[in-house]
Structure 1
Amino acid sequence: MRTPDRDRCRPAFAALCAALVITILGIPAAGALSAEYVVLPNGTAYQARIEIADASRYEFADVGFMGEKVPVQVGNVELTGNCSPCGFNWSRPWGAPSVITFAKGNYTVSYLAPLSGNTLQGQFTRPYSVNATIPPEFSVKNPLIAGISQGANVTHHADNTTSVRWDKTTAFNVRFYDQWHENMLWFFFQFMAILVLILVVVPYLLSMKRGE
């Protein structure tokens, strides 16, 4: 007796479904990648841990004022994943960002980089979940001297550290300050108040007195 076509198709269909499931599971979900940044206590450097998927290279670059790529001098670079150890090759073109290349796959890139102007920022080619940790010596509470890009969730911890988190973002920016900058802000306000008193209030009172 001849086996019906639909019966013969069932094993092939099941195999196709299994292959599709395996393929889907092997692809990271959109927005599932994460990036962790920890600002060091002196505020002059940060430690980064960035997940990358289906990649064979990583470029160490920051974002300039005009959106251009600016080379970042990094150190303590590590590549981790399903390998032990995960080897990579350096490429350091003159005037351009350094690049590491490796076998294509899913990894986490870790490195140490300098920080200036109390500003931490980053840009990605796909959505990332980003978490930045600010040490106790710094704060982001005062909006007059701090700045945080949109979509952030700020958490102040008991040890005075601050966590700033963005979900599914392609760019982030956080500007923090120390006690000296906050003191300078209040000194500026006091100075401006004295100027207003001398240049506006006192002349007005004197003119009122002369008018009497």
Structure 2
Amino acid sequence: MNATFCVHDGAEAFHAEIEIINAERYAFVEPGILGEEVPRSVTNTTLRYTDNRTAAGFKEDAFGRSISFEKGNYTIEYDAALKNKNFQFIFNALYNITLYLPQGYDVRNPLLGATGTGSVVSTVDSRYLTEELAAKNVTFTGGNGTIKVFWQNRAFADCRFYDDQQVFLLEVFGSIWLAVAAIFAVPYIMTRRRME
């Protein structure tokens, strides 16, 4: 089964497309502090038949945390909030999970970002993805700089990503510390030479 997630521009929310097989209920959950399943608030929920992509009917529970429908194979689409540029998802089965980050966001600097076990990170030209999502009112900037993070056969995915401003701040912080180290290192080296 496949699950695809596209982070919206601004990194405050994401769009999800999740395939389910032989199911009659789906609960919207996210991992809690201890890895437990915690209900997730979602919007723009759509249920489609997997084979022909036509819309299917469903019933939401009283709090909008799960949906029920006639047993079958479906693709569920929805939008959900994203906190602190930290993506985490938990499934009750193994999925091929794909996460797309818009231009200006990255995961490859180990000081600022991280991806979970088994992830493969690459850059893609996602113009086709942009057109498809625009029809669903998902704001996503594609192009050659789009980052794709992929996990194969996983029940859990996590990714911490960052933006260009965080890279700039890291470079400034590093430069200041190098300058301070140089200021203190030069007198120390000169003093040692005099003593020799």
TM range (shorter): 0.7 to 0.9
Q: Following superposition of structure 1 onto structure 2, how do residues 120-159 of structure 1 map, counting pairs within 5 Å? A: 120-158=87-125, 159=144
Deviation, structure 1 residue 52: 0.7
* CA separation of 1:65 and 1:203: change in aligned 2, threshold 3 A: farther
Deviation, structure 1 residue 196: 2.6
Aligned to 1:24: none
Aligned to 1:55: 23
Q: Distance in 2 between matches of 1:209 and 1:144?
A: 36
TM-score, with length taken from structure 1: 0.75
Aligned to 2:11: 43
Letter in 2 for 1:133: Y
Letter in 2 for 1:185: L
SS of aligned partner of 2:153: strand
Segments ≥4 residues shifted beyond 6 Å: none
Aligned residues of 2:48 and 2:56 also touching (Cα < 8 A): yes
* CA separation of 1:194 and 1:136: change in aligned 2, threshold 3 A: same
Q: Distance in 1 between matches of 2:150 and 2:10?
A: 21
Aligned residues of 1:41 and 1:137 also touching (Cα < 8 A): no
Deviation, structure 1 residue 78: 0.4
Structure in which a larger fraction of residues adopt helix = 1
Deviation, structure 1 residue 117: 1.2
- Which one of the candidate residues 57, 70, 78 is aligned to 2:38? 70
Aligned residues of 1:62 and 1:72 also touching (Cα < 8 A): yes
* CA separation of 1:59 and 1:161: change in aligned 2, threshold 3 A: same
- Which is bigger in relative contact order (C-alpha 8 A, separation at least 6)? 2
Aligned residues of 1:140 and 1:175 also touching (Cα < 8 A): yes
- Which one of the candidate residues 145, 152, 158 is aligned to 1:167? 152
Aligned residues of 2:108 and 2:114 also touching (Cα < 8 A): no
TM-score, with length taken from structure 2: 0.80
- Which one of the candidate residues 83, 88, 95 is aligned to 2:58? 88
Q: Distance in 2 between matches of 1:92 and 1:36?
A: 27
Deviation, structure 1 residue 67: 1.0
Deviations 1:50-101 (A, max 9, x none): 00111111111111221122332211100111685411111145xxx81111
Structure in which a larger fraction of residues adopt strand = 2
Letter in 2 for 1:117: N
Letter in 2 for 1:128: Y
RMSD: 2.2
Structure number with larger C-alpha Rg: 1
Letter in 2 for 1:186: E
* CA separation of 1:63 and 1:92: change in aligned 2, threshold 3 A: farther
Q: Confirm whether residue 177 of structure 1 aligns to residue 177 of structure 2.
A: no
Deviations 1:19-41 (A, max 9, x none): xxxxxxxxxxxxxx100101112
Q: Distance in 2 between matches of 1:209 and 1:37?
A: 60
> Mind listing any 5+ residue stretches in structure 2 that lack a counterpart?
126-143
Q: Distance in 1 between matches of 2:180 and 2:3?
A: 47
Aligned to 1:196: 181
Aligned length: 176
Q: Distance in 2 between matches of 1:121 and 1:183?
A: 25
Matched residues, percent identical? 32
Letter in 2 for 1:36: T
